[in-house]
Structure 1
Amino acid sequence: PVKMLLKDNADDVRDKILGYSVHPVIQQIQDESKAIMDRYLDSSYISEPSEISYMDLAEEVSLAFIALHGRPGEDGTVQAKLKAHGIPHNGSPAESAAKTIDKYETLQILKSNGFTVADQFVISKENYERDADQAITNMNELIGGFPIIAKPMDDGCSSAVRKIKSSDELKVYLKGLFRAEWDMSTELRSELGLNYNEEFPMKPEVLCEQLIDSSDADHFLEITGGMLTHMDGEQVRFEIFEPSEALATGEVLSLEEKFLAGEGQNITPARFSEDPERFRAISDQVRADLQKAAELLGVSGYSRIDAFVRVKGNEVDTIVIEINSLPGMTPATCIFHQCAINGYKPYEFIDKILQFAAESQSSGWSR
């Protein structure tokens, strides 16, 4: 039911569905108004949650909108099932989504195609438990030592992304990430500096990345750029929005700063330069880089790419951090600010996403 989806927090949606019940007063009102509801509501109206198979879904809908940021909606799992049942959907094809959910594979593909990316090292739980000190030594030798950025390889929303300044700090972080049980002791929560009720994932691998800084750039900023794709006959055309500048209050952008109204600071368009001509030159180069990254990874429909930008003289270096093939779309997310510059109201933006899904399917364009 739509009434259960009007939440910013997916956990709240899940809990409402799993613990679904109707208050006696609400039930009384529904019973007394049954005649009115039967007369004016569409026969497809859903009043309570019920499980439905993909086969049945194909009989009921002409198109699916995947509103899942992260797994299992952003890793190709849902996309593959929808495609198998002939249901058009928003976002990238399953093969592309499976690549972009993996932050290591994403950057390695870009690196092999000439992009500047952070040096990366993967520490597995198995190798770490075999010899923790050696695993950390190997990581230091490859990416140049602390400070580093540590993150899960396949989560979105800045989940468990930390700036790590020492070996001891990394060991505490890995103790949390590699723990054996979901429930965490009060002591470990305190060591990790977690807020009340703040979740911390369990993962078999962690991605360690070289800290990206300004180096010797004249101008350095973190940006996030959204985009749409359109069908022009049998060809796909990219529409790259003006990126937003992301301002973090801490060492990395938090989940709340990205998606909760009033929490984050995003400046749209990004402050590439005060000079109009210089701004346009830098913006054009950054947007061209974002489009190239999207094309290399088979991204389509719509997406948002996070990156750092270094500007030195006439040189512009776009350093991609990650690609979100199904970016979060809460009222606070900056992709709505970006599409507004191109003349789209929020509902028009969503309509364009759905239009591409339907047209790409009907045209036979390979997804």
Structure 2
Amino acid sequence: STTVTVISGGDSSERIVSLSSGRQVYEAFREGGRPAVLMEIDDINDLASRLDEIEVAFIALHGGDGEDGTVQQLLQDHGIPYAGSGPSASAIGMDKLATKKVLIEAGITVPHAMNYSGEDMAQFADKVMKEFSLPVVVKAQGQGESIGVKLVKDVRDLVPTFEDLHNEFGPFFVDEFISGREFTVPVLRMDGEDTVLPIIEVKSKTDFFSFEAKYTGDNFEVIIPAPLDEPTAQHVRDVTLRTHQAIGCWGFSRVDVLLSASGDPYVIEINTLPGMSHSSVMHRSAQVAGIDLPHLVELMLQSAFDRPQSG
């Protein structure tokens, strides 16, 4: 059978996460009996110089080129099949504002946002205070997972937070803070159908979900399947599937959903390349559905072989 090359590493801030999940994905393929190669890359140029070694690719990169469509475009241009979403869906998913725009057009509820467009920071803070009540969430526009996300509770912290994020990440925006329960919901294409895996409730022990909280296991607990009544669970599944399809994802994704106190699901973001380590929520949800890691990566890889030609 076709040898899969698991691409990991890269030069984004999430390199460490990628190296760890790449190794676990590689081992899972081997365990499931598929010939596999683990390719650790330094950056996109390193990958470009090694393309002729690849029959089919499983991208285990996080953030940066691996998640924003660059690697997908490179593979596509060279006729190399790869698992998961194409260049366009990847680029949209990585850009939180572009994601919002597509979802609003599709009639999917998202938190209200205001984009920073270069004006004086203090003036922008005034604009924000006219439009929002505190707390607000300040987010870097193009960072994966929860990197570059800050909760601001005090008006005096607005400008310093804007400056910090702008200096570190560039473009940013302000999101309305929705108080409620937090869920993350994996989608997996199985037997030719996009399927929603068991809903994961994420309970943060800090009052907010940050990159540190997401990757250091003590700060949050996950409950799978999430304790929801069936109509609410169905509502969350519907919104998740509509989000996956509106963005144009292929094969798999993971959608972050907030359920407000009044029971309305808000879509926060989509991860077109969900984390894939043993401890990842994607794997833990699949396990609840009776799918172990070797079976899961094989199902994900299937998307490389049956991708529609257009995208």
Structure 1 residue 86, shift from structure 2 partner:
0.7
Which letter does structure 2 place at the counterpart of 1:348?
H
Aligned to 2:292: 345
Q: Indicate conservation of the 8 Å contact 1:260/1:332, yes or no.
A: no
Structure 1 residue 366, shift from structure 2 partner:
2.6
Q: Does 1:10 align with 2:4?
A: no
Aligned to 1:93: 86
- Structure 1's 46 and 308: CA in aligned 2 closer, same or farther, altered over 3 A? closer
Q: Indicate conservation of the 8 Å contact 1:242/1:287, yes or no.
A: no
**141, 159, 175: which is aligned to 1:209?**
175
Aligned to 1:243: 199
Aligned to 2:213: 257
**285, 288, 308: which is aligned to 2:238?**
288
Q: Does 1:140 align with 2:161?
A: no
Identity of aligned residues (%): 27
Aligned to 2:270: 323
Aligned to 2:181: 221
Which letter does structure 2 place at the counterpart of 1:174?
F
Which letter does structure 1 place at the counterpart of 2:226?
A
Which letter does structure 2 place at the counterpart of 1:229?
R
In terms of Rg, which structure is larger?
A: 1
Cα distance in 1 between the residues matched to 2:116 and 2:175: 11
Give the root-mean-square deviation of aligned CA atoms.
3.0
108-117 or 77-86: which moved more? 108-117
Cα distance in 1 between the residues matched to 2:42 and 2:126: 51
Q: Indicate conservation of the 8 Å contact 2:138/2:162, yes or no.
A: no
Q: Does 1:54 align with 2:48?
A: yes
Q: Deviations over 1:28-67 (max 9, x none)?
A: xxxxxxxxxxxxxx9x89899897553641x322111111
Which letter does structure 1 place at the counterpart of 2:15?
A
**145, 156, 162: which is aligned to 2:150?**
162
Q: Indicate conservation of the 8 Å contact 2:258/2:268, yes or no.
A: yes
Q: Indicate conservation of the 8 Å contact 1:121/1:139, yes or no.
A: yes
Cα distance in 1 between the residues matched to 2:38 and 2:281: 32
Aligned to 1:308: 258
**98, 103, 108: which is aligned to 1:110?**
103
Structure 1 residue 302, shift from structure 2 partner:
1.1
Cα distance in 1 between the residues matched to 2:152 and 2:291: 40
Which letter does structure 1 place at the counterpart of 2:259?
V
Structure 1 residue 331, shift from structure 2 partner:
2.3
More strand by share: 2
Cα distance in 2 between the residues matched to 1:326 and 1:47: 17
Q: Indicate conservation of the 8 Å contact 1:228/1:301, yes or no.
A: yes
* Counterpart secondary structure, 1:178: helix
TM value normalised by structure 2: 0.82
Q: Indicate conservation of the 8 Å contact 1:261/1:331, yes or no.
A: no
Cα distance in 2 between the residues matched to 1:46 and 1:123: 38
Q: Indicate conservation of the 8 Å contact 1:55/1:85, yes or no.
A: no
Q: Indicate conservation of the 8 Å contact 1:102/1:153, yes or no.
A: yes
* Counterpart secondary structure, 1:65: strand
Cα distance in 1 between the residues matched to 2:108 and 2:41: 49
Cα distance in 2 between the residues matched to 1:172 and 1:68: 31
Q: Does 1:267 align with 2:260?
A: no
Q: Does 1:76 align with 2:69?
A: yes
TM value normalised by structure 1: 0.70
Where in structure 2 are there 5+ consecutive unaligned residues?
Answer: 20-34
Cα distance in 2 between the residues matched to 1:48 and 1:286: 37
Aligned to 2:32: none
Q: Indicate conservation of the 8 Å contact 1:256/1:264, yes or no.
A: no
Q: Indicate conservation of the 8 Å contact 2:257/2:269, yes or no.
A: yes
Structure 1 residue 109, shift from structure 2 partner:
1.8
Which letter does structure 1 place at the counterpart of 2:174?
C
Q: Indicate conservation of the 8 Å contact 1:231/1:359, yes or no.
A: no
